[in-house]
Amino acid sequence: MTFETVEPVLTGVRNFRDVGGLPTADGRRVRPGVLYRSGHLAHATEEDTAFLARLGLHTVFDFRNAADQALEGPDVALPGVRNVNIPLSDPADGAEFWTMVREGDLAQLRAALSGGRAAARMAESYRAIIRDRTAEHGRVLRALAEDSVPALMHCAAGKDRAGLSVAVTLLALGVEREAIEADYLESNSPHRRYRVYRSPEAAEGMSPEVMELLAPLFDARPAYLHTAFDTIEDHWGGVEAYLAEGLGLTPALRERLRARLLED
């Protein structure tokens, strides 16, 4: 399944796309030009920045934590755009994660990531975000419903924390799960993937085994997203209860959200 999206050539920003065009169960579509997603904006070039400035963004939601921001730097400033930082993971987890990715030797990586442990780690992170970050996701959806569009959501790679936040937003809009998953899996496209960096001093560098061990951390896998959906079912009994009880969305607020983000 493919959708028509804005597809610029950005050289310093990975994984950018317009979420517009995705279909809802009742036959509507997400309005183009109101919700974008990407990796971080810290390395945006002048040309990238000029393109982003032309989007007319109201708000950039940055889901990185302090460790992520210390590693890559702050987002580029966009004139007139509000930047809202809502961390969706603990900075200590971020520091430990990036130290392992960038500096871990083969023995450390095998111990932490082999035998399905990397994929299990990712699935558990998705479960935790859905289960524990309801206040943050509720805040994002209320902001979108009130005044914060057009909006751009991003994390580091634009795959996991931003991917889940986009997925939660799309669930609230009534977008079909098949379409949510198709958009999520777009992060696997070679030109979108996060560029993994290994320290020059790291043992085994970027050897095939090292990259194979790291791969599950930087893949967008259906099983990860399914873990998020399953968590919604397990903890709340379904999407409607998750949105109402977990995120605190009233029917009126959901209707405002749909009015802002969906085509008439």
Per the residue annotation, which of 34, 78, 122, 155 is the catalytic one?
A: 155
**CA atoms of 47 and 44, how far apart (whole Å):** 8
DSSP string spanning 124-175? HHHHHHHHH-HHHHHHHHHHHHHT--SEEEE-SSSSSHHHHHHHHHHHHHTB
**SS3 track for 32-85:** CCCEEEECCCCCCCHHHHHHHHCCCCCEEEECCCHHHHHHHCCCCCCCCCEEEE
91 is catalytic: no
Task: For strands 35-38 and 151-154, give the pairing.
Answer: parallel
Q: Find how far residue 249's CA is from the centre of its chain.
A: 21
Alpha carbons 139 and 233: distance in angstroms, whole number: 21
**Within 10 Å of residue 15's Cβ, how many Cβ atoms?**
26
In angstroms, what is the C-alpha Rg of the chain? Answer: 18
Catalytic positions: 155
